[in-house]
A = this chain, B = another copy of it.
């Protein structure tokens, strides 16, 4: 993303982010369902067809918002983890940062972790940003392993060969030298984390542990112990 040379290129870049900003603004008001291209164009003082010079379809605009949302969430998680604190505290703050971001941007969160609305998206552009937040958490695991802040891993006896191979790929990519059973438990903790946040945001906790602050904190601590952080 180098500096745009010509005036036209600069205008294009600025309008592209202006469109996304306005779309994001409407997203927070009406949700993905009510996001209207025409309304976005109207608010920007242009006509709807002009918008197609920047995004080939509504779904492409949504995909751009999805990528931005992944990156924003990932950045929030990385910011929370990148401190001079022990692995436990890194994991804890990372989890809470994810929840805080989700509560601050519920519609963007459900854009990325809710129902896949736009047809079925082309994953290639989204998978790298999608990995940032989980990778940040796993980073805490790596520092835990490097500093001796992890309990010894559970047995690998009950892990099937296929799962062991899948996990080995993950280990190679994100957490070299961390044992497979621990990475698998971290993956379980991650699904628990996002499951809880989704439940909270979708109102699935109403009538039970709502508000969910206490439960969330408790779950983080329990799962932290589960993965071996102490």
**With an 8 A cutoff between CB atoms, is A159 at the interface?**
yes
Whether the pair A116, B194 counts as a contact (CB closer than 8 A) is no
Q: Which residue of B lies closest to A193 (CB)?
A: B195
**With the chains together, A113 CA to B198 CA distance in Å?**
8
Give chain B residues whose Cβ lies under 8 Å from the Cβ of A170.
208-209
Give chain B residues whose Cβ lies under 8 Å from the Cβ of A203.
116, 120, 123
**With an 8 A cutoff between CB atoms, is A28 at the interface?**
no
Number of copies: 2
Provide a sorted-by-A list of 8 A–B residue pairs whose CB atoms are within 8 angstroms.
A110-B114, A115-B202, A127-B207, A130-B204, A163-B209, A188-B223, A191-B219, A192-B195
**With an 8 A cutoff between CB atoms, is A68 at the interface?**
no
**With an 8 A cutoff between CB atoms, is A117 at the interface?**
yes
- Which residues from chain A sit less than 8 Å from chain B, CB to CB? 31-33, 110-111, 113-117, 120, 123, 127, 130, 158-160, 162-163, 166-167, 169-170, 184-185, 187-188, 191-196, 198-199, 202-204, 206-209, 214-215, 217-219, 221-223, 226
Whether the pair B218, A158 counts as a contact (CB closer than 8 A) is yes
Cβ 8 A contact of A123, one of B163, B192, B206, B215: B206
Cβ 8 A contact of A115, one of B32, B167, B193: B32
Q: Which residue of B lies closest to A167 (CB)?
A: B209
Whether the pair B114, A214 counts as a contact (CB closer than 8 A) is no
Cβ 8 A contact of A195, one of B32, B114, B163, B196: B196
**With the chains together, A195 CA to B198 CA distance in Å?**
8
Cβ 8 A contact of A206, one of B33, B110, B127, B167: B127
Shortest CB-to-CB span from A86 to chain B, Å, is: 18
Cβ 8 A contact of A116, one of B169, B185, B196, B202: B202
Question: What are the nearest 3 A-B pairs in CB distance?
Answer: A195-B195, A114-B115, A163-B214
Give chain B residues whose Cβ lies under 8 Å from the Cβ of A160.
214, 217-218
Contacts A32-B115, A191-B192 aside, 20 further interface pairs with beta carbons under 8 A come to A31-B115, A31-B117, A110-B115, A114-B202, A116-B202, A158-B218, A160-B214, A160-B218, A163-B218, A166-B208, A166-B209, A170-B208, A170-B209, A184-B218, A187-B215, A188-B222, A188-B223, A192-B192, A192-B195, A195-B196
